[in-house]
Copies of this chain bind each other. A is one copy, B any other.
Amino acid sequence: MAELTVILYMLTISLFTATVSASQCSTNGFPLVRNINELPQDNYGRPGLSHITVAGSLMHGLKEVEIWLQTFAPGARTPIHRHSCEEVFVVLKGSGTLYLASNSHSKSPGKPQEFSVFSNSTFYIPVNDAHQLWNTNDKEDLQVLVVISRPPAKIFMYDDWLMPHTAARLKFPYFWDEQCYQKNSKDEL
């Protein structure tokens, strides 16, 4: 009897999870005004990251812009990556370092320039430039609002700065888009 209760309990939990998952994707409709605190938040397999899709393409049906709220614990960072879209950051809290290799016409990104970023700063990543954002402040979280164009994001990832551009690996759908990605989506790479 106890086992049956456990099984029923687990079944209920998984059904509930499935319902929550489905309702997170744009086909289901959303209230117009949403509380960011109540939106799905996850690290999507990256230690020290909190990612929230505030307004998204696959998640909420936007076509031209997408907004993320990301928090990086001390030491947390993005992969080295590039994407063929505009990207603007607004730093809400903390500080860190942006590594940016503005040579998309060379064979590989090469040694990046370093830029200090800080609370209430904003910066723009030129289209296709390889970059990495790193919370290099060991005392506090780095929180950023990220705006990209041409959603959903098609992200090419590098193992290091000397990896050839042609060897960078496309990750699509990106980790936080996987759940809402539909194989019959009309979006084209």
Contacts and interface: CB of A to CB of B under 8 A. Distances in A.
Copy tally for this chain in the complex stands at 2
Contact of A124 (B55, B115, B116, B145): B55
A120 B36 contact: yes
Nearest to A69: B90
A86 B98 contact: no
Given A36-B122, A100-B32, A122-B55, A88 B117 contact: no
Give 4 closest A-B pairs by Cβ, nearest first: A64-B149, A33-B123, A55-B88, A64-B86
Given A36-B90, A65-B148, A145-B145, 10 more contacts: A32-B100, A32-B124, A33-B118, A33-B123, A35-B118, A60-B124, A62-B86, A63-B86, A65-B65, A65-B86
